[in-house]
């Protein structure tokens, strides 16, 4: 029986922020070891240096992802899964290559740019019996799982309204910067070549969509969106009215120019019998209100059940933080993969409780619908 | 030189909530005395009892508002202004009657039901040189004035986004109550005869519109609204996308079914250089963030300037509360009226800094636009 | 049957802060009318002007409190009670004069300077069957009453620990100002002639003692105190260990030099089965935690019972503020006085639920014990 | 030049909470590899299983710590440092053994039980030129470092008052459990054999002392303490008055029976020019108030400088959590150790900015002083 997994990474050189978070999250779980990688195909020196730093054998540091997929797939001790942290525009090609070689995939969000590509990846993954995880970070938080648990159990009745937002302020300087020749670090996200058709909605709006859907089990059916570009090619701020498949209504807002908000994902779910509210900047707490009763402050570990309970790592009151949310996603994914490798059945409960390719597809549709609505004068668009 | 005013009240029997708040607010200021009234025209006994309770001479307790306007207007010691706290549907007729007799008016919001009526009152007030105050409570809060002061001074640059909401939960039971024969206390607000075309937007959505406009100086230009009725005739919940005359965008949400929120008016104004955020349930504080700097918690009295500074009554840290906000509106109105009576010029600064008939008209337009948008399938409607 | 009371005021000229709060609080209740006063005995002009401003007949504006007590006591329409807002050092003499003439008393805190004086007032009030109220403001807050209700009902078991503090920052400049010739507004509180043996403990520490005692029903039995004077004659900052008569322990802290705190009275009561926590700067909320359960946020009006329920004036979510807390004390006092005048029995529940002379006496003892402890090198002192 | 360290662990089997936190914290830094250990000397099976699980060669899984110290010290590839996570009563012996073999030490707190032992370890470490780290977790938090930076730079003037507390509620059941025959999980902490002379002060009170000292640079000079045992042998709750070597005063409180508090370490430092306030349950924020100015909310990463800036790992708004605080301590220690091994000089700034044996000694003295004070009737005790 296997107890440890082997994995490889595509993208994520030493200086890349998110690649490091993936590795640390995996390291925390002590369930998988990094044994192969292609960290940069454009810069062979950086690629080798990076691989060496992580203690990878030279022979498993690959010049490009295709070679990596091919060579790994035929090894006895091949990698069990690949982590894709490349710029977003490469996600599709890289994921496809590994799926086709039968290697399981963990891919950064957004899954890809085009709906057709996303649909193709979903189909391919299913046909090849591939476990495919899209790392929508916030679904890994303990109290987001607890919200899902409570809402799923009917505690707040039927969901009738959702207010969700994701506010940052790190691009405030860009509001008055359109057409500027001065190119800043921030530029890659605002460049369609790297970010596709949307910056703000693509980067953070998509987290709103997925986290709300994860919490409630409902999907956005249609929306009207207003994207603000302030003279740039891509959006920096957006507001939407949304309608869910269960009939609930609500607002989504995302912004990178909202002074005083750093990573302010805040989700409030209102039902016929109560409400559940969560803020990412204080992730270990959940506000739960039942009709006519005082609001209750649920605290991680002390007031958790189901998968949220299982995912507790340290006692309540000891903040777990974002890297632990990431680690929770990886732990769920790794457990599922180990079960599969070891021939164990799914437990039918939480063993597939991580965001998958279908979630990734829905995210791509959401981004596209927002841009289409806004471009057409903020009209209703069906997903 | 006059230092005290005389006033009369129409509506507001002993058991009425808002009538009492008006009287207490005026009493706190020690600037005006209640000397006449018509508290109920349908119940003469209650009318007399109420008048007697407030120490009004029998001869100035009137059977109906027309008689009151007529008789008062010819007295030597006539009332200087009338406070109108009747059910909303009578506002127009009562206000008209007093304006035409040259008596100044303080009217509860909403000003009236129809745009034409509101326009008529504006015109009449101007023609008759009447001071007309519409008591949008929240503009009276010290820290709302401070927000207006800071934004007006350009502290946060140009306003680009507004997120405002007003959440209550007292009608949650109505969500599953449509068609019920059981008639509850809550019913009058949900009855078009009393509330006009809207319950939730009319009652609390209109406060969002006015308070945001007061803070920013910008007006809503167009909007798309989704009103939720849950089988009733009138709305209990609503979400809107809004565009302001200065080009800013944003969302408004109001609800009477949002568990865990009691009187949750919360307004966040985002500008190119910073943000200002305020919550009515903690009214003595203001969050102010300048680009790149830590958020600052402004506290009433300690960190106020302009009209907000002038309006401080007790030291910082001593909560002033809603009745004081009301009192602030009355104090501003009474100062202006005393100035006028005493032949003093306006100081050109804050002496007219109370919500007036134009604000009332804009509120009526806003309510109408929301209902129209929602009825037409949530399309854009210009104000 | 009497429904309205007549009262007089000693002290509290137009510019005095606390005198105005008393009058506004009484005005809000609409239960009593100001008909007599001696607002300043040192400045006859100010005295007359002040009385005229409040609409008092000339004949009832008295040159000194003794004359007032004497003359009022023999009138048919004499005042039912007197409100004493003089500088603290006069409280004893003034209160004594009115008690002896059979006039009921509402007195600002601290009751007086010396324990013997306080004991004398208690005895006199009892002998003369006088209702004597000491306006410890914070006991009037709705949610303080709710805390008392919950704790009294045993919800949190036996109280075992109390952490209470009252932090202000308005005297920060005095820390480095000892011996300065520059005399500031703040000086009177720091002058023993006006404040007695303590500034900070006397002014705000005494509120801690009373509010905790009111909430819990327990009294401080002994304490050790450290008072910080920073070179001045009186204290600006103090910390204490306390032991209660039920065996509970805890800490009290008060300060006028704690940056960022304006009127931060915060009280946390820990029992064997749960905890109750309250903060004056957000007075409409109460944190209640039962062992093993999530913390609950009780909100005024929505989650009140007993006397706290009765004292609600406006709906939950509409902040009531400090003046309303004052008004609650006056309403309770006035109800009790009207009951007595009208020959009604006490209801045995809340009709005497206002701070009285015994509370005032205990406060004086507390202040004396703190100073004694600190002066002797911070040793234990029994109360 | 060495870039990676080798380490061994004593104590910390698979099921032990804190041992796992140490390993994860080290893994996050990617600076050191676990290559040796003695996880349990009493259970050889568990010891071998644990070692195998971590991928340690059989030959470096030792039956006892003495053998480990001896054998490792003579290897070419010997461990650079040992992590001691045994029950507290073994800390002294284990640390001594490794110091004497020239192996650097990271030891859990409290350092040991007796002052003489702690002094001996300090002396030994100095004589043997050993880097000795005591893992007072909370000094690793970014915003605790920022507080130290600001206070050290004089931002808030001279520190005059400290209010610090550490409240938990996990032992509430024990209050009524004295003498009970039912033995619970909690018992080991309440057993003098395992915890020494104090449970609550030893476990969490010592964190208050160290974190305050770290933030302010001041040390407790004398104190008076009241420890509450509720019939048990050791304390569950404690309150203290403290005086610091710079003359500042304050209160410390720690509790394991404070309902609604999970890991509530909260520290407030008041100076002559301002205040700094921090709460462990929301560790990425710091309240900073300068005299006369609004309180500012410093946020991790966005508003950091000095060592705090250097220690940022992920962008502001992304919570780092407790494990990252641990990782920060290890990173500082590992950097210092690598510098020493590589012959680099200290940078004189932050390279020794981790809690060391002297801090451990001071902690032991603090615990002893608290117990002595309380046992003698809560009298003043010098440290």
Nearest to D228 by CA among C250, C222, C244: C250
CATH numeric code, B139-316+361-382: 3.30.360.10
Q: How does the average pLDDT of chain D come out, rounded?
A: 94
> Is B103 within 8 Å of chain D by CB?
no
The pLDDT score that the predictor gives to residue C346 is 73
> Is B169 within 8 Å of chain A by CB?
yes
**Dihedral angle over CA of A308, A313, A317, A322, nearest 10:** -80
Q: Does pLDDT of C223 surpass 90?
A: yes
Looking at 3.30.70.270, 1.10.260.40, 3.40.50.720, 3.30.200.20, the CATH number of the domain A5-108 comes to 3.40.50.720
Please tell me chain A's helix, strand, coil percentages from 3-state DSSP, rounded to the nearest 5.
40, 20, 40
What is the rounded distance in angstroms from the CA atom of residue B269 to the CA atom of residue B288?
10
Say if the Cβ atoms of C259 and D156 lie within 8 Å: yes
Q: Does pLDDT of A184 surpass 70?
A: no
- Cross-chain CB nearest to A262 (options D28, D168, D299): D299
Contacts (Cβ under 8 Å, ≥6 apart) of B88: B108, B110, B112, B113, B194, B195, B196, B202
Say if the Cβ atoms of B281 and C28 lie within 8 Å: no
The second-level CATH assignment, the architecture, of C139-319+361-382 is: 2-Layer Sandwich (3.30)
A303 to chain C: which residues are within 8 Å by CB?
Answer: 293-294
What is the rounded distance in angstroms from the CA atom of residue A95 to the CA atom of residue A108?
10
D315 to chain A: which residues are within 8 Å by CB?
Answer: 17, 170, 262-263
Percent of chain C with pLDDT over 90: 87
The pLDDT score that the predictor gives to residue D58 is 95
Mutate to test the interface with C, among A277, A294, A299, A317 (most CBs of C within 10 A): A294
**E strand or H helix that includes residue C279:** strand C274-279
Q: Dump pLDDT digits (tens) for A329-353.
A: 999 999 999 999 999 877 767 788 9
What is the rounded distance in angstroms from the CA atom of residue C123 to the CA atom of residue C319?
39
Say if the Cβ atoms of D277 and C270 lie within 8 Å: no
Query: Helix D65-73 to helix D91-100 angle, to the nearest 10 degrees?
Result: 20
Say if the Cβ atoms of B294 and D299 lie within 8 Å: yes
CATH numeric code, A140-316+361-382: 3.30.360.10
The pLDDT score that the predictor gives to residue D184 is 56
Say if the Cβ atoms of D323 and A324 lie within 8 Å: yes
Q: Does pLDDT of D150 surpass 70?
A: yes
Any idea which residue has 């709103």 for tokens? Answer: A208
Q: Dump pLDDT digits (tens) for C185-222.
A: 466 788 888 889 999 999 999 999 999 999 999 999 99
Say if the Cβ atoms of B378 and A380 lie within 8 Å: yes
Cα angle for residues D175, D176, D177 (degrees, 5° grid): 95
> Can you tell me the mean pLDDT for A153-173?
97
Mutate to test the interface with D, among C241, C260, C274, C286 (most CBs of D within 10 A): C260
The pLDDT score that the predictor gives to residue C199 is 96
Tell me the whole-structure pTM to 2 decimals. 0.96
| Omega of the bond leading into A381 within 30 degrees of 0 (cis) | no
The pLDDT score that the predictor gives to residue D186 is 60
Instruction: Identify the three-state secondary structure at position A104.
Output: strand
Contact A37, A9 (CB under 8 A): yes
Which residue of chain A comes nearest to C303, CA vs CA? Answer: A294
Say if the Cβ atoms of A294 and C296 lie within 8 Å: yes
ipTM of the complex as predicted: 0.95
Domain edges within chain A:
5-108, 140-316+361-382
- Tell me the β-bridge partners of D81: D7, D104
Percent of chain D with pLDDT over 90: 87
Q: Which residues of A125-145 are buried (b: 16+ CB within 10 A; e: fewer)?
A: beebebbbbbbbbbbbbbbbb
Size of interface A-D (CB pairs under 8 A): 97
Say if the Cβ atoms of A314 and D170 lie within 8 Å: no
Say if the Cβ atoms of C173 and D291 lie within 8 Å: yes
Q: Dump pLDDT digits (tens) for D164-191.
A: 999 999 999 999 887 665 555 466 788 8
> Is D303 within 8 Å of chain B by CB?
yes
Nearest to A380 by CA among B373, B162, B160: B373
- Domains B5-108 and B139-316+361-382 fall in the same CATH topology: no
Q: How far is D296 from chain B (nearest CA, A)?
A: 4
Q: How does the average pLDDT of chain A come out, rounded?
A: 94
The pLDDT score that the predictor gives to residue B182 is 53
The three-state DSSP-derived secondary structure of chain B is CCCCEEEEEECCCCCCHHHHHHHHHHHHHCCEEEEEEECCCCCHHHHHHHHHHCCCCHHHECCCHHHHHHHHHCCCCCCCEEEECCCHHHHHHHHHHHHHCCCEEEECCCCCCCHHHHHHHHHHHHHCCCCEEECCHHHHCHHHHHHHHHHHCCCCCCEEEEEEEEECCCCHHHHHCCCCCCCCHHHHHHCHHHHCCCCHHHHHHHHHHHHHHHHHCCCEEEEEEEEECCCCCCCCEEEEEEEECCCCEEEEEEECCCCCCCCEEEEEEEECCEEEEEECCCCCEEEEEECCCCEEEEECCCCCCHHHHHCCCCCCCCCCHHHHHHHHHHHHHHHHHHHHHCCCCCCCCCCCCCCEHHHHHHHHHHHHHHHHHHHCCCCCEEC
What is the rounded distance in angstroms from the CA atom of residue C328 to the CA atom of residue C308?
10
Tell me which long-range contacts B287-291 makes (C-beta under 8 A, separation of at least 24). B287/A260, B288/B150, B288/B155, B288/B156, B288/D294, B289/A169, B289/A259, B289/A260, B290/A259, B290/B155, B290/B156, B291/A169, B291/A172, B291/A173, B291/A259
- Residue C57 gets which letter from DSSP? -
Instruction: Identify the three-state secondary structure at position A118.
Output: helix
Q: Dump pLDDT digits (tens) for C109-142.
A: 999 999 999 999 999 999 999 999 999 999 999 9
> Is A378 within 8 Å of chain B by CB?
yes
Nearest to B68 by CA among B31, B92, B89, B95: B95
Q: Dump pLDDT digits (tens) for A213-264.
A: 999 999 999 999 999 999 999 999 999 999 999 999 999 999 999 999 999 9
* Subunits with 3+ C-beta pairs closer than 8 A to A: B, C, D
Q: Dump pLDDT digits (tens) for C275-306.
A: 999 999 999 999 999 999 999 999 999 999 99
Which residue of chain B comes nearest to A290, CA vs CA? Answer: B259
D250 to chain C: which residues are within 8 Å by CB?
Answer: 239
| Higher-pLDDT residue of B58, C179 | B58
Q: Dump pLDDT digits (tens) for D308-343.
A: 999 999 999 999 999 999 999 999 999 999 999 999
Cα angle for residues A282, A286, A291 (degrees, 5° grid): 145
| Higher-pLDDT residue of C188, C146 | C146
Q: How does the average pLDDT of chain C come out, rounded?
A: 94
The pLDDT score that the predictor gives to residue D185 is 47
- Cross-chain CB nearest to D264 (options A27, A280, A317): A317
> pLDDT 10s digit of each residue in chain B, 383 long?
898 999 999 998 877 778 888 999 999 998 999 999 999 999 999 999 999 988 899 999 999 999 999 999 999 999 999 999 998 999 999 999 999 999 999 999 999 999 999 999 999 999 999 999 999 999 999 999 999 999 999 999 999 999 999 999 999 999 988 766 555 546 678 888 888 999 999 999 999 999 999 999 999 999 999 999 999 999 999 999 999 999 999 999 999 999 999 999 999 999 999 999 999 999 999 999 999 999 999 999 999 999 999 999 999 999 999 999 999 999 999 999 999 999 987 776 778 899 999 999 999 999 999 999 999 999 999 99
Quick one: CA dihedral A43, A47, A48, A53, positive or negative?
A: positive
**E strand or H helix that includes residue C6:** strand C5-10
- Cross-chain CB nearest to A258 (options B237, B243, B275): B275
């Amino acid at each position: 029986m296997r107890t440890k997994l082997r994995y490889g990474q595509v993208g994520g050189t030493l200086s890349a922020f998110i690649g490091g978070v993936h590795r640390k999250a995996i390291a925390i779980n002590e369930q998988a070891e990094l044994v192969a990688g292609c960290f940069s195909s454009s810069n062979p020196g950086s690629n080798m240096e990076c691989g060496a730093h992580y203690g990878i054998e030279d022979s498993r540091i690959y010049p490009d992802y295709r070679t990596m997929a091919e060579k790994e797939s035929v090894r006895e001790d091949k990698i069990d899964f690949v982590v894709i942290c490349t710029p977003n525009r490469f996600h599709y090609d890289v994921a496809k290559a590994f799926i086709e070689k039968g290697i399981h995939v963990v891919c950064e969000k957004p899954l890809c740019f085009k709906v057709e590509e996303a649909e193709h990846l979903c189909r391919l993954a299913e046909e090849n019996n591939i476990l495919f995880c899209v790392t929508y970070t916030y679904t890994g938080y303990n109290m987001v799982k607890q919200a899902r648990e409570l809402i799923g159990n009917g505690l707040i009745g039927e969901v009738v309204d959702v207010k969700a937002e994701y506010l940052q302020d790190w691009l405030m300087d860009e509001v008055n910067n359109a057409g500027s020749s001065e190119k800043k670090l921030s530029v890659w996200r605002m460049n369609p070549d790297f970010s596709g058709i949307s910056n703000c909605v693509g980067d953070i709006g998509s987290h709103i969509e997925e986290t709300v859907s994860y919490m409630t089990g409902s999907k956005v059916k249609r929306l009207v969106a207003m994207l603000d570009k302030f003279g740039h090619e891509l959006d920096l701020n957006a507001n939407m009215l949304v309608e869910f498949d269960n009939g609930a209504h609500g607002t989504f807002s995302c912004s990178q120019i909202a002074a005083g908000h750093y990573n302010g994902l805040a989700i409030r779910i209102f039902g016929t019998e109560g409400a559940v509210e969560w803020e990412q900047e204080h992730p270990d707490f959940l506000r739960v209100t039942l009709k006519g009763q005082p609001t209750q402050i649920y605290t991680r570990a002390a007031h958790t059940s189901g998968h949220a309970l299982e995912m507790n790592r340290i006692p309540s009151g000891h903040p777990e933080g974002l890297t632990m949310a990431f680690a929770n996603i990886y732990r769920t994914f790794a457990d599922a993969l180990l079960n599969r490798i070891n021939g164990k059945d799914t437990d039918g409960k939480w063993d597939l409780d991580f965001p998958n390719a279908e979630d990734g597809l829905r995210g791509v549709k959401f981004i596209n619908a927002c841009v289409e609505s806004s471009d057409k004068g903020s009209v209703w668009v069906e997903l």
